[in-house]
């Protein structure tokens, strides 16, 4: 029985991988109650990198539900929207939210100079948010109540999207389109600081995704865009790890607070970087899930 249950849970991924082409963005592809959409197309780019999964509520009502968008991590070079997603989707559905998990182009180091670099990652997510804002009502979502959250590289991407208004502005959307930003454990709030104080391995991740130009590192640092009066949403931030990691986090958090932006700090001293994401929605988790749920309740009230 367990064997068949596992097969059933894996079926959406198997179906997705077996499809030679994904349908046009106006035609949703139903996969066991969920929907996969290609939110934009680019020549020569695998449509999977430019797709999103919509996890709809099991019971549809006339009242539109808040929407939570998830951006995966993976050092800007790996990861997928379906990774470790089931517990998160279950949690969001339990809380009454439409849940959207998003892919974006990755900086594949094996491609050398042909790999994508910043700002491709955040531009893709901005496009996905624009698509969701325009279309999510068809799946029972309320475009006026949308939050975004991400882990690791995804935490950097959502923090940049929610502080630098230029990305959403390209789609004629203000920062206020997003009612909250949960940026869950990244050191990339201040990339030059990260490079100056990070390990060789960490710095290789940065240069692989952002190149070697220090001015680009500045442009990609969310901390440089914090100011009041432009609609930056409330932030949920995670504090853990080394002294340098905490220093970057608290520098970012303090600047948000100095500009009057609502912030919640989640202390997760006993968790690894990976566990911050893995714990979301897991049965028995008393560290990440309750704080995240309370944060979303606050912003959607």
pLDDT at position 198: 84
User: Which residues share a beta bridge with 55?
Assistant: 34, 99
Cα separation, 155 vs 273, whole angstroms: 12
Average pLDDT over residues 195-209: 92
Please write the tens of the pLDDT for every residue from 122-157.
999 999 999 999 999 999 999 999 999 999 999 999
| pLDDT, mean over the chain | 89
Q: What values do phi and psi take at 245, rounded to 5?
A: -60, -45
Average pLDDT over residues 51-56: 95
pLDDT band, residue 176 (cuts 50/70/90)? very high
pLDDT at position 86: 94
pLDDT band, residue 73 (cuts 50/70/90)? very high
- Nearest Cα to 255, choosing from 193, 197, 300? 193
pLDDT band, residue 44 (cuts 50/70/90)? very high
pLDDT of residue 25 exceeding 70, the answer is no
pLDDT band, residue 33 (cuts 50/70/90)? very low
- 277 upstream amide cis, omega within 30 of 0: no
pLDDT of residue 107 exceeding 80, the answer is yes
Which position has the higher pLDDT, 237 or 15?
237
116: Cα separation from own chain's centroid: 18
pLDDT of residue 68 exceeding 90, the answer is yes
Report field, pTM of the whole predicted structure over 0.85: yes
pLDDT of residue 211 exceeding 90, the answer is yes
Average pLDDT over residues 26-42: 66
Average pLDDT over residues 236-241: 97
CATH of domain 29-300: 3.40.50.1820
pLDDT at position 30: 36
pLDDT band, residue 2 (cuts 50/70/90)? very low
123: Cα separation from own chain's centroid: 12
Inter-axis angle of helices 153-161 and 120-135, to 10 degrees?
70
pLDDT at position 229: 95
Domain residue limits, the chain: 29-300
pLDDT of residue 214 exceeding 70, the answer is yes
pLDDT at position 57: 86
Q: Is the torsion defined by CA of 226, 229, 232, 236 positive or negative?
A: positive
128: Cα separation from own chain's centroid: 11
């Amino acid at each position: 029985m367990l064997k068949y249950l596992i097969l059933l849970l894996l079926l959406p991924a198997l179906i997705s991988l077996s499809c030679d082409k994904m349908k046009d963005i106006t035609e949703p592809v139903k996969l066991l109650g969920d929907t996969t959409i290609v939110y934009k197309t680019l020549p020569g780019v695998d449509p999977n990198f430019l797709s999103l999964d919509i996890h709809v509520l099991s019971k549809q009502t006339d009242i539109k539900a808040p929407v939570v968008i998830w951006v995966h991590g993976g050092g800007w070079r790996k990861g997928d929207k379906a990774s470790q997603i089931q517990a998160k989707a279950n949690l969001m559905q339990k809380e009454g939210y439409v849940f959207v998990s998003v892919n974006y182009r990755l900086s594949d180091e094996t491609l050398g100079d042909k790999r994508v670099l910043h700002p491709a990652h955040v531009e893709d997510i901005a496009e996905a948010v624009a698509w969701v804002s325009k279309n999510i009502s068809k799946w029972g979502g309320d475009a006026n109540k949308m939050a975004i959250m991400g882990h690791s590289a995804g935490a950097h991407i959502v923090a940049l999207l929610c502080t630098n208004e230029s990305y959403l502005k390209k789609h004629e959307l203000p920062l206020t389109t997003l009612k909250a930003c949960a940026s869950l454990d990244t050191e990339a709030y201040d990339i030059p600081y990260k490079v100056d104080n990070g390990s060789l391995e960490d710095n290789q991740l940065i240069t692989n995704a952002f190149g070697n130009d220090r001015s680009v590192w500045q442009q990609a640092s969310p901390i440089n865009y914090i100011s009041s009066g432009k609609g930056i949403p409330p932030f949920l931030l995670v504090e853990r790890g080394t002294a340098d990691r905490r220093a970057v986090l608290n520098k970012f958090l303090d600047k948000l607070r100095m500009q009057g932006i609502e912030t919640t700090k989640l202390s997760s001293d006993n968790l690894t970087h990976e566990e911050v994401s893995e714990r979301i929605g897991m049965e028995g988790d008393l560290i990440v899930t309750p704080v995240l749920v309370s944060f979303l309740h606050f912003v959607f009230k």
